[in-house]
Amino acid sequence: MSRIDAELGALIGSRLCHDLISPIGAIANGVELIMLADSVPSTEMHLVSESVEDANARLRLFRIAFGMASAEQNIAPDDLRAIFGYMNPRARHRVEWHGDAAIPRPAARLALLLIFCMESALPRGGRITAGFQGAGFRAVCEDDPLVAYDSALWDRVLTGDGDPREVTPAQVHFPLAGALAAEAGLRVEVDRTDGGLAVSF
């Protein structure tokens, strides 16, 4: 993956997320008004409300992970906790974010892509604990006997092979994470144990 391809992809990601956030926000406002006007909100409206919140949280997450990332921009850890807080109750993968320091957006982008890689290793779901300590990032999944480690995919992360032509859309975070880590001169480490997986840089 060339630098131009990566930047174009990030611009496309930013554009899509930017254009979709506004209408989803408008839907959320409309649902809220309907529920306020209804003394006994229906089960269906609760379902719509939860789905809109989930879509909004996913867009915010994807905007960080797949959008443009300026080194001058920081991500507040409370923002990430809020995003995962919306998603966790309804998602197969529960992500617990730790740490209180602001995170440079490029580092946050790589961290989220690696979390997506870990989620791919947990096809039936699981709990991931992640966060920064100083400049270092670490994400851990423990006590899960169903960890599915695909060495061909993880090799793209470890070697920096950013060629996306041999992966599916559901696996695009693997070559993208590898390319971003290689460009930043960062070494990604993956530790496997029986029922556990840890990723750090």
Domain at 3-200, CATH homologous superfamily: Histidine kinase-like ATPase, C-terminal domain (3.30.565.10)
d(CA 129, CA 95): 6
**Contacts of the segment 150-158: beta carbons below 8 A, 24+ positions apart:** 150/120, 150/121, 153/117, 153/120, 154/117, 154/190, 157/114, 157/117, 157/181, 157/188, 157/190, 158/188, 158/190
Residue 107 pLDDT: 95
**Angle at 150 (CA atoms; ends 83, 169), nearest 5 degrees:** 55
pLDDT single digits (tens) 132-185: 988 899 999 976 666 788 999 999 999 988 777 788 989 999 999 999 999 999
Q: Tokens for 162? A: 């950013």
Spans in the chain with pLDDT lower than 50:
none
Angle between helices 77-87 and 43-66 (to 10 degrees): 140
Domain boundaries, the chain: 3-200
Residue 89 pLDDT: 83
d(CA 82, CA 138): 19
Residue 23 pLDDT: 85
d(CA 104, CA 20): 24
